[in-house]
Amino acid sequence: MDSATIKSVFEEVAKLAPIGTALIASVAAWIAIRSLNAQRQIAQRRAATDLFIKTETDRDLLEAHKNFIFGAEALKWMTDQMEQFSNTSHYDSLVRYLTIHELIAVGIAKGAFDDEVCYSFWCKTLTEACHACEAVIKHVRNSSGDESKFWYLSRLDNRWRKKMEKSKRRGFPF
């Protein structure tokens, strides 16, 4: 090959350099986005796991759960007397516990907590709490005049109930 041929080959390759640069930049951007998504997902899973470790070990949260159980039992006997029940400590315990669930639902909706980790650990607890406290949720909304109270919780409850039903049809426990 003579020098003129080599020069023409390099000139042709040089014309392709911008395409190669753009391709390399695109691959680098794709890798960066994947890395950021992986880091975000790890952070969401860690946040959810930390929260659930706290719910299982924190004395105040364990007491809140115990008070919720007592309150839910008392509610069974007073569902038709909600105005009277709303003046009891049981009602306050139920609202406080539902607020914890609402915070979890907001965290999932806003991407702070990983939905799959939360679902795997908390689906039965959350859906059972919502079912047991339907009357309390309605009462809180009506008495405050704010239909958005426990909105994230209700939305998550509906979504998780559908997911649980689908899983049961496939033979999974939840």
The one-character DSSP state at 79 is: G
User: What does the block give as tokens for 60?
Assistant: 């105040």
Give every CB contact of residue 139 below 8 A, 6+ residues apart in sequence: 82, 86
φ, ψ dihedrals at 136, nearest 5°: -70, -45
Cut 0.85: pTM above it: no
The one-character DSSP state at 149 is: T
Q: Is 108 exposed, middle or buried (0-12, 13-18, 19+ CB in 10 A)?
A: buried
Q: How many residues does the chain have?
A: 174
**Are the beta carbons of 114 and 44 closer than 8 angstroms?**
yes
83-137, pLDDT tens digit by residue? 899 999 999 999 999 999 999 999 999 999 999 999 999 999 999 999 999 999 9
Q: What is the mean pLDDT of residues 135-161?
A: 94
20-43, pLDDT tens digit by residue? 888 889 999 999 999 999 998 899
Q: Where are the domains of the chain?
A: 45-169
Radius of gyration of the chain (CA): 27
The one-character DSSP state at 145 is: T
Q: Which residues of 135-153 are buried (b: 16+ CB within 10 A; e: fewer)?
A: bbbebbbeeeeeeebbbbb
Question: pLDDT value at position 174?
Answer: 67
Q: What is the mean pLDDT of residues 67-81?
A: 89
